[in-house]
């Protein structure tokens, strides 16, 4: 198995690294991860991963190189590793939002396969939704196979990457906020915080699994638990009176406008 390199050991880079080992079938020493501050690499060293403070070393050791850095750092990092990049050996994978494939191709100025991905932090727990877009179908398939064991993947057009960022990456925060709100409601009607949190989280997981397993429209499943004059429809209608669906849609559109404005 070829080594996979991750440049950037922040939240998403670290989550990918741990997901590769726990769910992706990668031996820990097959994952090479870098960060400038060596002390911050210690947790990955303890897991048995190959850690580096030199990005060039990551590129020299690995065939797949995942860039998990800030948008403002991406060009400098690519130019730093450029001397060792080879078209027949490397795939450059970018988790960097708001940086397009044509921009990366311009910085690389070589025929290196470039693939953009948008996973989310659930990649660490084998439950990511990872969207993939690349300039080479073969490279897309390799990256798809790399991330499939860590959740679900979807190959999309690059023009949809900003939308994928909102639904898949920002979406984690949106759903967590909903779970928090349900937890708070659960506390008010009698449960302790830990109990309400567990019930809310497992119920959210169950609702998602119903849709993933059946492929049904959400309203079809909602109809199964809304009886005439029942408590479910009463609660749903009250939430809608206060703008539940409208607020979620407006939030998604506002987030999308924000990321689109970065270009």
Q: Where in the chain is the domain with CATH 1.10.3730.10?
A: 165-260
pLDDT band at 147 (very low <50, low <70, confident <90, very high): very high
Q: Where in the chain is the domain with CATH 3.40.50.720?
A: 4-156
Q: In the predicted model, what is the mean pLDDT of residues 75-93?
A: 95
Give pLDDT, residue 262: 61
Give pLDDT, residue 180: 98
Average pLDDT, the chain: 95
CATH number of 165-260: 1.10.3730.10
Express as a percent the part of the chain with pLDDT over 70: 98
Q: In the predicted model, what is the mean pLDDT of residues 41-61?
A: 96
Which CATH number among 3.40.50.720, 3.40.109.10, 2.40.110.10, 3.30.70.1450 corresponds to the domain 4-156? 3.40.50.720
Per residue, the 3-state secondary structure of the chain, as one string, reads CCCEEEECCCHHHHHHHHHHHHCCCCCHHHEEEECCCHHHHHHHHHCCCEEECCHHHHHHHCCEEEECCCHHHHHHHHHHHHHHCCCCCCEEEECCCCCCHHHHHHHHCCCCCEEEEECCHHHHHCCEEEEEEECCHHHHHHHHHHHHHHEEEEECCHHHHHHHHHHHHHHHHHHHHHHHHHHHHHHHCCCCHHHHHHHHHHHHHHHHHHHHHHCCCHHHHHHCCCCCCCHHHHHHHHHHHCCHHHHHHHHHHHHHHHHHCCC
Give pLDDT, residue 260: 72
pLDDT band at 110 (very low <50, low <70, confident <90, very high): confident
Give pLDDT, residue 109: 84
**pLDDT score of 263 more than 60:** no
Give pLDDT, residue 10: 93
Q: In the predicted model, what is the mean pLDDT of residues 237-259?
A: 95
pTM for the whole structure: 0.93
Q: Which two tokens stand for residue 1?
A: 């198995």
Give pLDDT, residue 261: 66
């Amino acid at each position: 198995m070829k080594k996979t390199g991750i440049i950037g050991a922040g939240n998403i880079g670290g989550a990918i690294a741990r997901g590769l080992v726990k769910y992706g079938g990668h031996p820990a020493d097959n994952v090479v991860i870098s960060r400038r501050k060596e002390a911050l690499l210690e947790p990955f060293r303890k897991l048995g991963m190959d850690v580096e403070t030199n990005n060039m070393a990551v590129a020299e050791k690995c065939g797949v190189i995942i860039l998990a850095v800030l948008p403002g750092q991406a060009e400098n990092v690519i130019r730093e590793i450029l001397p060792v990049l080879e078209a027949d050996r490397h795939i450059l994978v970018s988790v960097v939002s708001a940086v397009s494939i044509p921009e990366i191709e311009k910085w690389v100025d070589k025929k290196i396969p470039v693939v953009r991905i948008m996973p989310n932090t659930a990649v660490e727990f084998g439950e990511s939704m990872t969207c993939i877009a690349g300039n080479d179908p073969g490279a897309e398939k390799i990256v798809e196979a790399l991330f499939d064991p860590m959740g679900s993947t979807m190959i999309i057009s690059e023009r949809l990457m900003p939308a994928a960022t909102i639904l898949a990456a920002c979406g984690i925060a949106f759903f967590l906020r909903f779970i928090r709100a349900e937890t708070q409601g659960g506390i008010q009607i009698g449960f302790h915080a830990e109990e309400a949190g567990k019930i809310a989280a497992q119920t959210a997981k169950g609702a998602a699994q119903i849709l993933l397993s059946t492929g049904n429209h959400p309203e079809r499943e909602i109809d199964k638990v809304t009886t005439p004059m029942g408590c479910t429809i009463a609660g749903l209608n009250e939430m809608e009176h206060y703008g539940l669906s409208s607020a979620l849609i407006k939030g998604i559109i506002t987030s999308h406008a924000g990321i689109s404005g970065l270009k």
